[in-house]
Structure 1
């Protein structure tokens, strides 16, 4: 543009030439020659009563011999400011003929412009207009490419949302995935959602996901907050600034807004198939006006989030019921004189990994009658196949049937009870399968006699005083409908100070790790913990072997011989257990 100004100055032999473009309240000079330092730096001036304004408003050229004397121009402040006398200006137009500004030649003395000079200035204006049109087309092309790229990216975001949220299984995973999706594309300061309080008190509230990895709480869905309005009115709610927040939601909400550091927020309802589940909130810490494209993307994501959330709430409820059922089946341990008994159960870290792990311990009739083994106590550790509600239900059935089998066959040993369980399983068609160790303990001189049968389960570990820990071999086939091979049982003596550990495979089996190494580690800890209370020892073993986030349920049952057994069954009574500690 400066080149066009120089051409105009040289061709028309004037001290000042301008390429001026008119805006709403000012004129800017992308091309100039001959102006003072102040204007050459700012390249702008007021538009009102300017010579450029006259050209723009009239839509045609303005040619005057002396602008100071012409009625059309003499009142303009620019005439005095630039010491304009002779003036010739030609309009600059876009492709539609709209006048954008002017090319002007300015002389400080009165001047009569020749026809040739006016034509030359008109030719320069036409060339300059063509350049401006090229720039406009180029800018429009750049904007179109940017908008196309943005639309493509947001279309990809919607597709990712449909794919990613379809695979979520829990409420917390839905929260995290929604935050990751929106943050990666729209760059907000906060993404979260508030659930309706009626859904579940434990799930209410929003959890923010910030670029810096911090989290901030937003008011729950029933408070004076945009999320509440979005959920209640089932529509998008946009808040732009603290003043709008104060006017619409009150001073307390405005104070909370300032505390959070928000500048703009969009809240969208998450509408389920039967009810509104809550609202999705997206906030920025600098002013942000979401366009139609962003609003459409956020609406689509909130819809997918509602579907995922509804499914997750259903799954979470089923998992919670299964866990409650499973934990309700865990036994209150009996108190037995001469034995210390403790148990521990830890669910898998993954919420949907509800299994059929269980332990049991109960008092028996002490084998009165011919053939009785004199057993006073039965103990079991087991793992039913599966990780769902059905597995937890079958675990409860197996536990009850095995108890019943022990009491229906008072003169049989553990193998008799397990065989009866299998027979009932086949006859009733319960189709339970899995593994277990079932054992009877009977009083003996200076200790207890242990008789057990193992149906495909990890071998119990035994630590005896002054001896290394070892595992009790002797496996039979696992429990399965239709299996009829005879089972065997083993027997050994537990002296004073001996500690027996029964456990499920969640303690020692992890992907990529050697199960044998896990068993040896547990055995070493059992031997080294001879002086630890059993409750503490079980927690120690679970922490060190299974870790803080086990991939499968872990059930442990331990017995330690602390004194010679009582002479009668009067020493047997109710006791305690540990659940998930």
Structure 2
């Protein structure tokens, strides 16, 4: 007959004393969670309970685990409602978690007498064998329960002990499996974060403008760390504190401008104090930054925000701001990713600011070249230049119009002279960089000089002189242009032009289809033979409108350029009665949109009809 034994006697392979210290309690509850053991039915644990009942020939058997507030029975057989449905009872450490406990009659044994679990389960004979984890902590027990007093034999106790060890091994395997899965998840998260940092270093290394840096940082952070908002606040020397231009996942820009000195806000503090700043909840915002900041925080719908300074090589450029609409405290791995991303972003911003400054100079150069149109009696003119929406796309598009000297007189021509009165040019130098803008300025000046040095020689001669000069000086200029001279003829005008590979001019006359002046010659290119440009003539009757334009107006990916020119011609014909300034704007919006992908230049000339 088996001896009655107290805590720790024959506790199985775990060798546990059965006692659970306060320090072990959290680890024990975590182990139960990782094993998936609670008051919910568990098929595997139910199977162990049925086997125990058969082997010991008892009416009730349990796999019992000690939770924080209850004893739960994930494995059970023989209990009746409501216990069979609840699968739990009040705690009793002596019965479940004290190690091996063999009792003849729990109702009279001093260790168990009067315990709630004994009364609820109507326990008399009781054999409980501990279930121990790898750390030696008793998680619960495998229990065989008889309604009558029971003399337990050594064989019965030995059999239940082996079964308890098998059950504990199953639990330990579950715990290990869960921990492996968690470790894999953590490893995957670390790998993802490492990939994010690597991708940030690669992507941001190729950025050329501040807008592109903003976009790439937003893409990286929102896609991988899943915040509600991510953006950059920039404090630049040449301009005021810029807007925190971030976006929600739907692309909406949410954050207005924040002055780091005058406006209390986490991004400003991060930039000023050169440290990472985190805030959680509106109360903390109100306490740290004031009521105005709290109102703004509530309006944005944030719950947590982390701001990391953008430390450049010479100064702090601003802050990276990341926010969540639910409370989120980033772990060390996330903070490391944000810090690394902010470092790469700061380097990219320094390069971008330098490039943007050079682009601003090129934009100013372009604007300076687009001088006011001259006033010519009997001729209306309007011009429009629209740069590409991408700030880094500086190009060589230009238009020009100027009075011509009379042949042999060295002074501006007039209707009385009988010679050409006006020169008009539209051109596009190859490239989208500062060099293209610079070459455009040189070409414009050279073409003007050629016209004034050779009065009466015609537009083809001026283009030939331009080609000769750029080739002789080895400027490497390539591109297209249309250069035209306009001469008064009766009530209208005569157009003489040469086309160096440029999109054709369009001529709209009221009451007639728009005409495409398709005659053209070779483009400007170093090394081509000189004298390769011809002149063409076309009468411009009263009421007619001539349109010169660059390819940014008609060239679209996936669209045939001839069809686009035909559509532009239809719009021009429909607008012969529209004032020229309004017409050029309407044509640009209709053909290229409010934010064109490429630079667009237009020059429109109209011969007014008789009053």
- Aligning the two structures, in what range does the TM-score lie when normalised by the shorter sequence? 0.7 to 0.9
Tell me the number of residue pairs that the alignment of Structure 1 and Structure 2 aligns.
558
Pair 498,138 (structure 1): closer, same or farther in 2 beyond 3 Å: closer
Q: Which residue of 2 aligns with 1:216?
A: 254
Q: Which residue of 1 aligns with 2:228?
A: 189
The one of 312, 317, 329 equivalent to 1:277 is 317
Q: Which residue of 1 aligns with 2:487?
A: 442
User: Does 2:167 match 1:128?
Assistant: yes
1:381 shift after superposition: 1.5
Asked if structure 2 preserves the Cα contact closer than 8 Å seen for 1:195 and 1:206, the reply is: no
Matches within 5 A, 1:53-64: 53=97, 55=98, 60-64=99-103
1:367 shift after superposition: 4.1
Asked if structure 2 preserves the Cα contact closer than 8 Å seen for 1:89 and 1:105, the reply is: yes
User: Does 2:500 match 1:460?
Assistant: no
1:308 shift after superposition: 3.8
1:462 shift after superposition: 2.8
The one of 371, 376, 386 equivalent to 1:336 is 376
User: Does 2:381 match 1:381?
Assistant: no
Q: Which residue of 2 aligns with 1:90?
A: 129
What whole-Å deviation, never above 9, does each CA across 1:159-202 have from its counterpart, x for those lacking one? 44444444444444433433333444443333333333657448
CA distance in 1, matches of 2:328, 2:572: 61
**Which secondary structure does the structure 1 equivalent of 2:134 belong to?**
coil
Pair 219,439 (structure 1): closer, same or farther in 2 beyond 3 Å: closer
User: Does 2:551 match 1:505?
Assistant: yes
Q: Which residue of 1 aligns with 2:367?
A: 327
Matches within 5 A, 1:128-207: 128-196=167-235, 198=237, 200-201=239-240, 203-207=242-246
Matches within 5 A, 1:501-540: 501-540=547-586
**Which secondary structure does the structure 2 equivalent of 1:334 belong to?**
coil
CA distance in 1, matches of 2:292, 2:114: 55
**Which secondary structure does the structure 2 equivalent of 1:207 belong to?**
coil
The structure whose RCO (Cα within 8 Å, separation 6+) is larger is 1
The one of 454, 459, 466 equivalent to 1:421 is 466
Give the RMSD, CA atoms, in angstroms. Answer: 3.6
The one of 35, 57, 62 equivalent to 1:18 is 62
Asked if structure 2 preserves the Cα contact closer than 8 Å seen for 1:205 and 1:221, the reply is: no
Pair 480,4 (structure 1): closer, same or farther in 2 beyond 3 Å: closer
CA distance in 1, matches of 2:440, 2:492: 32
The one of 79, 95, 99 equivalent to 1:51 is 95
User: Does 2:408 match 1:362?
Assistant: no
TM-score normalized with structure 2 length: 0.79
Asked if structure 2 preserves the Cα contact closer than 8 Å seen for 1:338 and 1:563, the reply is: no
CA distance in 1, matches of 2:193, 2:391: 32
1:356 shift after superposition: 0.9
CA distance in 1, matches of 2:63, 2:297: 48
CA distance in 2, matches of 1:205, 1:501: 42
Pair 261,515 (structure 1): closer, same or farther in 2 beyond 3 Å: closer
1:342 shift after superposition: 0.9
Asked if structure 2 preserves the Cα contact closer than 8 Å seen for 1:12 and 1:105, the reply is: yes
Q: Which residue of 1 aligns with 2:34?
A: none
Pair 206,448 (structure 1): closer, same or farther in 2 beyond 3 Å: closer
Pair 272,35 (structure 1): closer, same or farther in 2 beyond 3 Å: farther
1:416 shift after superposition: 4.3
**Which secondary structure does the structure 1 equivalent of 2:568 belong to?**
helix
- Name the stretch that deviates more: 197-206 or 440-449: 197-206
Q: Which runs of 5+ in 2 are unaligned?
A: 1-44
Asked if structure 2 preserves the Cα contact closer than 8 Å seen for 1:189 and 1:285, the reply is: yes
Q: Which residue of 1 aligns with 2:48?
A: 4
Q: Which residue of 1 aligns with 2:28?
A: none
1:555 shift after superposition: 1.3
Asked if structure 1 preserves the Cα contact closer than 8 Å seen for 2:71 and 2:91, the reply is: yes
Asked if structure 1 preserves the Cα contact closer than 8 Å seen for 2:471 and 2:526, the reply is: yes
Asked if structure 1 preserves the Cα contact closer than 8 Å seen for 2:242 and 2:257, the reply is: no
Pair 41,272 (structure 1): closer, same or farther in 2 beyond 3 Å: farther
What whole-Å deviation, never above 9, does each CA across 1:258-298 have from its counterpart, x for those lacking one? 44333444433333343333333333333444444444444
Pair 456,200 (structure 1): closer, same or farther in 2 beyond 3 Å: same
